[in-house]
Amino acid sequence: MRKDSYFDKLRGSGWPSPNEIEHYFLSASGRRQAFDTRNDCWGFSAEGVDGTEHLPANKGRIDIHLTIVGNPGHGVLLQYVKAGRGRRDVYYSSGDLKRLLEWVETKHGDLMPIGLFISFERGWAAVKEFIETDGALPQNIAWIGGDDIPPDAFPDPAKPSPRK
Nearest to 71 by CA among 26, 29, 118, 27: 118
Q: Which residues contact 80 (CB under 8 A, 6 or more apart)?
A: 64, 65, 66, 89, 90, 91, 92, 130, 137, 138, 143
**pTM assigned to the model:** 0.93
Query: Which one is predicted more confidently, 9 or 22?
Result: 22
Instruction: Write down the pLDDT at residue 18.
Output: 96
Q: Could you read off the pLDDT of 50-81 as tens digits, one per residue?
A: 999 999 998 999 999 999 999 999 999 999 99
Under a CB-based contact definition with an 8 Å cutoff, are residues 110 and 164 in contact? no
Q: Could you read off the pLDDT of 86-99 as tens digits, one per residue?
A: 999 999 999 999 99
Mean pLDDT of the chain: 93
Instruction: Write down the pLDDT at residue 38.
Output: 86
Instruction: Write down the pLDDT at residue 161.
Output: 56
Query: Which one is predicted more confidently, 35 or 25?
Result: 25
Query: Which one is predicted more confidently, 161 or 6?
Result: 6
Give the residue ranges of DSSP H helices in 15-150: 18-26, 28-35, 120-132
Instruction: Write down the pLDDT at residue 151.
Output: 86
Under a CB-based contact definition with an 8 Å cutoff, are residues 63 and 82 in contact? yes
| pLDDT tier, 163 (very low <50, low <70, confident <90, very high otherwise) | low
pLDDT value at 162 more than 60: no
Instruction: Write down the pLDDT at residue 36.
Output: 79
